[in-house]
Amino acid sequence: MTNDLPYAGLAVVEFTHMVMGPTCGLVLADLGAEVIKVEPVAGDNTRRLLGSGAGFFPLFNRNKKSIALDLQQPEGREAALRLIAKADVVSENFKPGTMKKLGLDYETLAQLNPRLVYVSLKGFLPGPYDHRTALDEVVQMMGGLAYMTGRPGDPLRAGASVNDIMGGMFGAIGVMAALAQREKTGRGQEVQSGLFENNVFLVAQHMMQYAVTGQPAAPMPGRISAWGIYDVFTAKDGAQVFLAVVSDTQWGVFCDAFGFADLKADERLKTNNDRVRAREWLLPQLRERLAHVSAAELSERFEANGLPFAPITRPQELFDDPHLNRTGGLAALKLADGRETRVPLLPLTLDGHRPGVRLDPPRLGEHTRELLREAGYTDAELDALAARRVIAEN
């Protein structure tokens, strides 16, 4: 369905690294755009990350082509400009001023290509903080998310790169809006997305809670829950399951499913608010009763009765998730070392289909010659550029 994808034919040149910038390109690439990833001749540093960063490159750079250019050399910049001259979108997430020093800033490129949409993905939108170096963890700490995630007095970053990923998504949304406007005006524009501002958007619900109630939001682990039963329980086999009973109707169903007639008849537990007030004694009693039930049986009874539940799942276990596997939520992907794996796709369908993997994560410079030939370079010129390390290819 490549030609049926909404951005088939859209040309994107990205100067990005890490997560936020590549996520923006990933969204456009998965939706059909030809995304050209411009890397240094030594390669994107993300290729070499260990630990929690080891999955960054293969996840966020599928469906892209790689060209390796030394932008510090005039010939490298000239090659980039030839690509940009025919592009619809340029994406970058380097420190403020970096692209201007290279002559690849929006003001310069808009003169070359007035229809160009240029997206900058930064730590902060223009303002007093825009000189700071930002990371996902930095903005989580300063933007209230770490405070809300951790226990009181123990701020904790979220368990994924939520701002980097969402910041890249908002960059892609901005690109889509700019492309729609270009259809009306014939001109491109600059789009900016900020990591800090994305984080503030995430915690806006807690800001507005304070605005409405006058009461500061408590960290999630220390909050007063709105629901009587809304917690993690340990089953008899030691496995943990999140269980929720969020209405009076569900309370009756829950009690019937587990034979808790005494709790159902207890006037102190008649309404959800009653159960919230009774949590201090009710939850320990439920933990004791449910500790004799296996995790599988807890899940089966909750599912059979339409009650909310969730096993506590580790990321690696999702490769075996029956729903993801049956619905095509995981697609085949080849890693740089040749190993086969599977990767989660965008969480959406288009006409009933999940946009899939057309290109595996590229080897460094894998498409250098192909792309520069299309830009008008001869093989002799490419040989000369390679000999002087202006380009790299694999």
Domain co-membership, 252 together with 352: no
Q: pLDDT, tens digit, for every residue of 161-204?
A: 999 999 999 999 999 999 999 999 999 999 999 999 999 999 99
User: Could you tell me the CATH number of the domain that includes residue 283?
Assistant: 3.30.1540.10
- Position 213 in a domain: no
Residue among 69, 149, 55 nearest 104 (CA):
69
Q: Would you say residue 172 lies in a domain? A: yes
Q: Can you say whether the dihedral through the CA atoms of 36, 42, 44, 46 is positive or negative?
A: positive
CATH of the domain at 28: 3.40.50.10540
Residue with tokens 């989660």: 344
Say whether both 276 and 130 belong to one domain.
no
Domain termination residue (choose one: 282, 315, 348): 315
Q: Is residue 357 part of a domain?
A: yes
Q: Are residues 26 and 153 in the same domain?
A: yes
Number of separate domains in the chain: 2
At 144 the three-state DSSP class reads: coil
Q: Which domain holds residue 311?
A: 225-315
59: left (phi over 0), alpha (psi -120 to 50) or beta: alpha
Q: Is residue 154 part of a domain?
A: yes
Q: Express each pLDDT in 218-229 by its tens digit.
A: 999 988 888 999
Residue 122 lies in a domain: yes
What is the Cα 391 distance to its own chain's centre? 31
Task: Encode pLDDT of 21-60 as tens digits.
Answer: 999 999 999 999 999 999 999 999 999 999 999 999 999 9
Residues 151 and 178 in one domain: yes
Q: Is residue 210 part of a domain?
A: no
Report the predicted TM-score, pTM, of the whole model to 2 decimal places: 0.93
In this structure, the answer to whether residues 362 and 274 fall within a common structural domain is: no
Q: What pLDDT, on the 0 to 100 scale, is given for residue 127?
A: 96
Taking CA atoms, 102 is separated from 16, 136, 376, in Å, by 14, 26, 22
Q: Name the DSSP letter for residue 43.
A: -
